Structures are given as structure tokens and as C-alpha cells.
Structure 1
Amino acid sequence: MIGRIVCALGLLACAASSIGAPYPVPPRAERGKANAACRPGEPGPAIRVKVTGIKDGEGSLRLDLYPANDTEFLAPDKELIAAGRPFRRIERKPLVAGTATLCIRAPEPGHYALSVLHDRDGDGKFAFLRDGVGFSRNPRLRRAKPKASSVAIKIGPGIGETQIVMNYRRGLGFGPVPVP
């Protein structure tokens, strides 16, 4: 009876206690990195990503794994983690022009969307004029982010493989770096 009265007087507090607290969000530099990188002898679920067309060795390369739906694909990492949604991140420094191979673990087998950022200026964000970007299934990039359905890939119980081609600003749009 007392519990009902307290809930009637403090509806929001009661609702919050019955739903549960959101997941803790780590500091920005650590978000998504726990259990993200493949381990030696990794059994999976994971995916090995060959990133090609890296323009130069400036900055770092960042591979992110997102849920494969338009609402959560490329959503802020803080929001995904707080909601307990799948999100993983690995970074590679130093970087070499050309190609790099990264391996990222998935929380469980399923459909996910991958994005790669060549953060050339090191600010942790995508800079349209400077940085490079690529997505799983290599969709043609336009001025808006691609639909999750165009980049969704299936990660099974083992280790899968895929290739992502980097795109950089070229004129008014984006495309792979021309090969000399």
C-alpha cells in the first residue's frame, strides 16, 4: 500500500526505478572499446575488415560497429551505450597509406553496419573537407549518410571477412582516391 502511494506521488521516480537505470557510459576515449578488438585465436563472432584506398599516413583509422537500422546507424556513441545497444570501436595508430586490416568483435551473431573514419586531423569527428570515410558493402556516397539497409552485413558465429574502400572529398562529392 505504501509503495502505491509513493508511486502515485512520485510517478517519474517510480517509473525510473521499475525500468532500471541506463547503462553507464565510459569516458569518450574508452567508448565502445571494451571487448571490441579481436583476440589471438578469436573464435568469433567477429569480422576482419580489409580497408583499402587509405590516402596517407596522417591521423588514425577508426572502425565502428553499429546496429543495422536507420535510427541507430551512426547515432552518437554515448546514446547507444547508455541505451545498452550494440556498439563497438577500434582504432589504429600509426597509419600507413594504402591498406590496413582491422578485426572487430560483434556482441552476438546478427546484422550490423560498419563505418570506417580516416580521422586525418585527429579531432575524433568527421571533417567533410579533410577526412575519409567508408562503409560496409561500399555504397556510393552522396551528401547524406547511407541507409542502414545499404550497408548492413551479416556477422555469423565465426570470423567473417569484408573489404571497405575509403572515400575522400573529390570536387563536390566523395569517391575513392585515384590510383596514379
Structure 2
Amino acid sequence: MRAHPFVLLLSTSIAGAALAQDARLDVQLVGIQHERGSIRVGLYAEPKTFRKEAQALAVQQAPAAAGTVRVSFEKLPPGRYAIMAYHDEDGNGELNRRFGMFPTEGYGLSNNPTVSGPPAFDDSAFELSAETKAKEISIDVRY
């Protein structure tokens, strides 16, 4: 007796889904200058929402500490992601900018790209594959 094509497709999909593990992403933020305020880390999965914290896939916040601060994102499906983090020194929940363009608080991007102008998703993007169980990245916070 032959299996119906739909049953074969369904069983293949279920097997594929079982292989796709959720991953943990550990983010190390290096170069925090002082302990005032907090560190906010936005995780983005789409270029059109990159740097728009209200539209981030997830946001982690941790107390600021001079030196290095760590945060983690749990249960991430495989995909392409980018991070923008900043030192929210005054606790207003946004990256302060002079003339609306130039950051006046420390900030950092995944891949630590050199930018002139608004950072692009592609410059900061990294992959989490289906085989990835945990990944650690380090971001330099620039003031």
C-alpha cells in the first residue's frame, strides 16, 4: 500500500521541524564607560525595522556597569539577525542624538562595522543556522 503524497509531505515537514533547534544568543557588550543608566540591546530580524526599537524582535535591558555587560536572547529560530545596542545613560528609553543624527550616548552594532551615516542591517547581520545551539557575539560600545 502506497502512502498518500500529503502524508509523505507532512511527515517530511515534521522531521525537518524537529531538526530546527531554537538557539541561544549571548551578547557581550565591551567598553561600557560607567554604571549610570542601563544598557539596551535590540534584536532585529528585518532590514525595514532595524534601529526602530519599538519594532525590534526582542529587547533586553541590563544595568550598566563599567567594562563589560552581558545579555542573552533565548529560543531563537534559525535566521538572519542584527543587533543595535546603546548605553541609555539618562534612562529615557532612547538613544540620544545631537541634531537628530549624531549619537551622544554610547552605542554598538553586531559585527562592529565602521559607519558614516545611519547603520545598515546588512552591515550588522549574522546567521543563526539550524545547527546552532548557542552563539556568542561581542559588540564594542563606542562613545
- Number of residues of Structure 1 aligned to a counterpart in Structure 2: 116
CA distance in 1, matches of 2:62, 2:53: 20
User: What letter corresponds to residue 113 of structure 1 in structure 2?
Assistant: A
- Unaligned runs of 5+ residues in structure 1 are 1-42, 81-85, 169-180
Shift of residue 119 of structure 1? 0.3
Alpha-carbon distance, 1:105 to partner: 2.7
TM-score, L = length of structure 2? 0.73
**Could you tell me whether the CA contact under 8 Å between 1:121 and 1:131 is conserved in 2?**
no
CA distance in 2, matches of 1:76, 1:101: 19
* TM superposition shift of 1:56: 0.8
Q: Alignment partner of 1:103: what SS?
A: strand
1:146 to 116, 119, 123: 119
Match of 1:60 among 38, 51, 65: 38
Aligned: 1:74 with 2:43:
no
Q: Separation in 2 of the partners of 1:131 and 1:158?
A: 33
Aligned to 1:163: 138
- By how many angstroms is 1:44 displaced? 4.0
Within-5 A mapping of 1:1-180:
44-69=22-47, 71-77=48-54, 80=55, 87-93=57-63, 95-105=64-74, 107-128=76-97, 130-142=104-116, 144-156=117-129, 157-168=132-143
Q: Percentage identity across aligned positions?
A: 27
Instruction: Please give the per-residue CA displacement for 1:32-79, whole angstroms capped at 9, x wherever unaligned.
Output: xxxxxxxxxxx841211111011111100011101242x2212351xx
The CA distance in 1 between the partners of 2:53 and 2:59, in whole Å, is 12
Specify the SS of the correspondent of 2:60: strand
Give the strand-richer structure, 1 or 2: 2
Give the structure, 1 or 2, with the largest relative contact order (CA under 8 Å, sep 6 or more): 2
Q: Which amino acid aligns with 1:165?
A: D
Q: Is the 8 A contact 2:53 2:59 kept in 1?
A: no
Please give the per-residue CA displacement for 1:120-150, whole angstroms capped at 9, x wherever unaligned. Answer: 01100111353111000001132x2211110
RMSD over aligned CA atoms reads 1.9
| SS of residue matched to 1:163 | strand
* Structure-2 residue corresponding to 1:24: none
Give TM-score, length-normalised by structure 1. 0.59
